[in-house]
């Protein structure tokens, strides 16, 4: 919720000269909120950003279906790529524009106008808002392609033009560099305090997040602009997340509506709409994929619960058929750890960063210590520890020929991409993006799907109706407003 500044009553001098201002001065409730604090706007933006990114609600975020972590039990329509019946594109698009970017812009305006803030506090808080806004823009570009950007959120212009996706991304890189340089690392706190729901007002954490974002954006560009990607990535050496303690997340509280959205869907609503896919569950079990007959993935019983059917042996893990309806009792439903009210929603995990460093080294980028293999091992270990596993379990898992970097099948993209796909289980938006970029694992659309597996979301229908000319121009520019149109960074 937005935190609001409560206006105090000021002393008034009653003279005949001010009688004409009675309406202005007296018809004001001194206890009524008049001005919103920047920290309130930032808190609201953080909450809405994280909820959108991690949601299980397939009316908003169907990406656990797209990367085939989950299959449907009763309602398979969204797993067959029906986007418009439930207005999925608009439900993803609207909160990011309206509830995140708009609030962050209000925050920046409020910070600039606050005469009580020191120059250092203004710089750090503005940089926080800017980093969050840039992150949100990258998600929009990586989801839709060309989008309204330079003319977006202008109340005087209800029909903004769409900017070129590559040009937007280039501008975001420039903005991110400026934001990183704006932080004053000599101050430990940004001044946002507890209203910074993600980093608790820690300047150091925001600097690490910003540099980790830069590495992420560098690798997004790696196949289309290798030289720029290399320069960007090398500039982040030693500045990114360095342990699981650095994870960039928002810990929800136990009071609705500020509980984790997974809890709301899986527990509070008592819905049993999702089961693991056989494709994913069998790979975690070691009955399919590169580790057949090997050690069971130690994350299996955290990611999923055993099937509840008494007709099956105890502790049976089984996956359903992707794109179809599935039994709720003979298949494994999402695990108990996903059902906790306070489960953090993750924007950037340490495991994710270690996989990025492994890829950067494999691509020949300089300055990073260690090898691609050592950072790959660190990434897998970090993921297992993140989910409550032990270092011994990670060591045993990594010792298998199908997992060990030296012997796992495929090139570096396939090795890293496969394990990253497993690790990003509870970061569905990022998992979908990385599956498209690294093309691993090989996924197949169900036979009854209405399209190929989406590599972008369609534009919201309302854009066609209200902003038709600009919509048509944008659709033509990217190669068609269809789910199979690859975005500029998705080269392979």
Domain ranges of the chain: 4-34
Task: Look at the pTM and tell me if it is higher than 0.85.
Answer: yes
Amino acid 9: pLDDT: 30
Distance (Å, rounded) from C-alpha 136 to C-alpha 153?
Answer: 14
Q: What distances in angstroms separate CA 20 from CA 11, 14, 375, 472, one per listed residue?
A: 17, 11, 72, 54
Considering only CA atoms, which of 262, 258, 216 is closest in space to residue 70? Answer: 262
Residue 102, pLDDT score = 98
pLDDT of residue 36: 74
Report CA 378 to chain centroid distance, whole Å.
Answer: 22
Q: Are 341 and 259 in contact (CB under 8 A)?
A: yes
Q: What string of pLDDT tens digits covers the 492 residues of the chain?
A: 333 332 233 322 223 333 344 344 444 444 444 557 899 999 999 999 999 999 999 999 999 999 999 999 999 999 999 999 999 999 999 999 999 999 999 999 999 999 999 999 999 999 999 999 999 999 999 999 999 999 999 999 999 999 999 999 999 999 999 999 999 999 999 999 999 999 999 999 999 999 999 999 999 999 999 999 999 999 999 999 999 999 999 999 988 889 999 999 999 999 899 999 999 999 999 999 999 999 999 999 999 999 999 999 999 999 999 999 999 999 999 999 999 999 999 999 999 999 999 999 999 999 999 999 999 999 999 999 999 999 999 999 999 999 999 999 999 999 999 999 999 999 999 999 999 999 999 999 999 999 999 999 999 999 999 999 999 999 999 999 999 999 999 999
Distance between CA atoms of residues 351 and 305, nearest Å: 23
Q: What is the three-class DSSP state of 218?
A: helix
Neighbours of 16 (CB within 10 A): 6
Query: What residues does 6 pair with on adjacent strands?
Result: 33
Q: What are phi and psi of 263, to 5 degrees?
A: -60, -40
* Confidence (pLDDT) at 256: 87
> How far, CA to CA in Å, does 447 sit from each of 222, 359, 437, 444?
33, 34, 24, 9
Question: What pLDDT does 14 receive?
Answer: 28
CA distances from 324 to 64, 170, 219, 273, 458 (A): 15, 41, 35, 12, 23
């Amino acid at each position: 919720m937005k935190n609001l500044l409560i206006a105090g009553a000021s002393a008034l001098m009653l003279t005949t000269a001010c009688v004409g201002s009675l309406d202005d001065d007296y018809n004001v409730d001194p206890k009524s909120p008049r001005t919103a604090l920047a920290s309130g706007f930032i808190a609201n933006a953080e909450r809405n950003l994280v909820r959108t990114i991690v949601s299980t609600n397939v009316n908003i975020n169907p990406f656990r279906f797209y990367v085939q972590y989950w299959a449907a039990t009763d309602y398979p329509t969204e797993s067959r790529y029906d986007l418009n019946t439930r207005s999925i594109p608009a439900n993803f698009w609207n909160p990011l524009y309206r509830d995140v970017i708009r609030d962050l812009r209000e925050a920046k305006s409020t910070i600039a106008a606050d005469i009580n803030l020191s120059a250092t506090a203004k710089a750090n808080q503005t940089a926080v808002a800017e980093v969050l806004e840039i992150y949100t823009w990258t998600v929009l570009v990586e989801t839709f392609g060309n989008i309204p950007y330079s003319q977006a959120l202008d109340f005087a212009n209800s029909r903004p033009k769409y900017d070129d996706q590559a040009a937007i991304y280039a501008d975001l890189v420039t903005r991110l560099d400026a934001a990183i340089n704006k932080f004053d690392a000599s101050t430990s706190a940004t001044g946002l305090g507890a209203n910074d729901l993600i980093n608790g007002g820690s300047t150091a954490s925001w600097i690490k997040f910003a540099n980790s974002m830069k590495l992420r954006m560098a690798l997004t560009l790696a196949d289309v602009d290798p030289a720029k990607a290399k320069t960007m990535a090398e500039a982040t050496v030693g500045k990114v997340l360095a342990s699981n303690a650095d994870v960039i997340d928002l810990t929800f509280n136990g009071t609705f509506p500020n509980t984790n959205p997974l809890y709301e869907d899986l527990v509070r609503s008592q819905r049993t709409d999702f089961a693991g896919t056989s494709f994913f569950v069998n790979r975690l079990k070691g009955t399919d994929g590169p580790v057949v007959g090997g050690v069971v993935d130690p994350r299996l019983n955290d990611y999923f619960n055993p099937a509840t059917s008494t007709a099956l042996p105890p502790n049976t893990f089984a996956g359903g058929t992707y794109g179809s309806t599935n039994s709720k009792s003979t298949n494994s439903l999402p695990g108990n750890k996903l059902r906790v009210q306070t489960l953090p929603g993750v924007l950037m995990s340490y495991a994710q960063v270690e996989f990025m460093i492994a890829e950067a080294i494999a691509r020949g980028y300089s300055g990073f210590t260690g090898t691609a293999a050592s950072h790959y091992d660190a990434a897998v270990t970090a993921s297992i520890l993140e989910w409550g596993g032990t270092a011994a379990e990670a060591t045993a898992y990594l010792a298998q020929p199908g997992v060990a970097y030296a012997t796992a099948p495929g090139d570096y993209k396939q090795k890293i991409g496969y394990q990253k796909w497993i690790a990003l289980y509870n970061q569905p938006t990022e998992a979908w993006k990385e599956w498209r970029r690294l093309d691993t694992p090989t996924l197949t659309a169900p036979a009854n799907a209405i399209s190929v597996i989406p590599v972008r979301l369609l534009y919201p229908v309302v854009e066609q109706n209200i902003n038709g000319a600009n919509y048509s121009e944008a659709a033509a520019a990217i190669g068609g407003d269809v789910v199979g149109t690859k975005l500029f960074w998705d080269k392979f």
